Structure 1
Amino acid sequence: MRMIPLAIDEIIDHLLRHNFLNETRFSQAFARGKFRTKKWGRNRIVNELKLRQISKFNIKIALKEIPNDEYFKTFEALAEKRLQQLASETNLQKKRKKLADYLFYRGWESELVYGKVNEILE
């Protein structure tokens, strides 16, 4: 905005004092939003927050915004939806790899992903 440095400092100070700029609030809203709308797992959320240089303390607070029961229900629903999309895949190994790659890209934990992939064998 081509402001002088003193004006910039004063504006940022005002925003911080009146809680308009708040790293904790941002990280909580980010985690809730990405989980609910984009169905991201905790790994992806953590990585994205780290990219935005959010502190570890605030990342931990943000992850508490995601209830465990809702987290696992979302994972199951996402995995089942992807399996239905892969129904035409006849090669079992390719199907398992595509499912795992999709879930890892979305940021889900490896123990959840491999547990789901191993269910396909049965």
Structure 2
Amino acid sequence: MSHSISIPEITKKLEYYCSYQERCHNEVIDKLKTFYLTSEERDTIIVHLIQENFLNEERFACSFARGKHNIKKWGKVRIVNELKFRNISKYNIDKALKEITPEGYLNTFYELAEKQWEFIKETNPQKKKKKFCDYLLRKGWESHLVFEKLNEITNDNE
């Protein structure tokens, strides 16, 4: 098979792709598929990226969990599901969740929940409760936290 771009050039492109932002193996494999390589050539590049520490699934999982929690305010349910979707191992998912301290996790949740309750401009109490719960559950927060917070907020406001 002839390549319009050489294997060393593709390797350099992938090194940059991985150093620019943490990547999971799936993302790198998808990127490699755009280059019409044999499976041996793809494997050789992936092995190189792992050996040279451009590609590290544990580091990706930890960075992903921290970022999605701190920036997007995702809960653990969503983080775990998104990592599973990317074929990250249970071991690396468990390591990634340790990046989030229990105190920080709950502080983020309470802050987000209170902001969201204030933000919802719904006059029908049932609809407001539903919007509140749907939003937090979609963000991946555990249902027991969501419903405890809903009870706390609605009891305070009655």
After superposition, what is the alpha-carbon deviation per residue over 1:51-102, rounded to whole angstroms, capped at 9, x for unaligned? Answer: 001111110000000011111111011111111112x322211111111000
What residue is the counterpart of 2:119 in the other structure? Answer: 85
Question: Once structures 1 and 2 are overlaid, which stretch shifts more, 105-114 or 17-26?
Answer: 17-26
1:104 to 137, 152, 158: 137
What residue is the counterpart of 1:57 in the other structure? Answer: 91
Bigger relative contact order (CA 8 A; separation at least 6):
1
Q: Tell me, yes or no, if structure 1 residue 37 matches structure 2 residue 62.
A: no
Counterpart residue type for residue 8 of structure 1 = R
For 1:95 and 1:20, locate their aligned partners in 2 and report how far apart those are by CA, in whole Å.
46
**DSSP 3-state at the match of 2:71:** helix
Normalization by structure 2: what TM-score? 0.72
Q: Please report how far the alpha carbon of residue 8 of structure 1 lies from its aligned counterpart in structure 2 after TM superposition.
A: 2.6
What residue is the counterpart of 2:109 in the other structure? Answer: 75
Seq. identity, %: 55
What residue is the counterpart of 1:19 in the other structure? Answer: 53
Q: Pick the structure with greater CA Rg.
A: 2
For 1:105 and 1:9, locate their aligned partners in 2 and report how far apart those are by CA, in whole Å.
37
Normalization by structure 1: what TM-score? 0.92
Give the alignment's Cα RMSD to 1 decimal: 1.2
Relative to structure 1, is the Cα distance of residues 3 and 93 closer, same or farther in structure 2, using a 3 angstrom cutoff?
A: same
Q: Tell me, yes or no, if structure 1 residue 94 matches structure 2 residue 127.
A: yes
Misfit runs of 4+, over 2 Å: 2-10
For 1:49 and 1:59, locate their aligned partners in 2 and report how far apart those are by CA, in whole Å.
7
Question: Once structures 1 and 2 are overlaid, which stretch shifts more, 47-56 or 17-26?
Answer: 17-26
**DSSP 3-state at the match of 2:48:** helix
Q: What stretches of structure 2 of length at least 5 have no aligned partner? A: 1-34
**Partners of 1:96 and 1:120 within 8 A in 2:** no
Q: What stretches of structure 1 of length at least 5 have no aligned partner? A: none
Q: Please report how far the alpha carbon of residue 5 of structure 1 lies from its aligned counterpart in structure 2 after TM superposition.
A: 4.0
Aligned length: 121
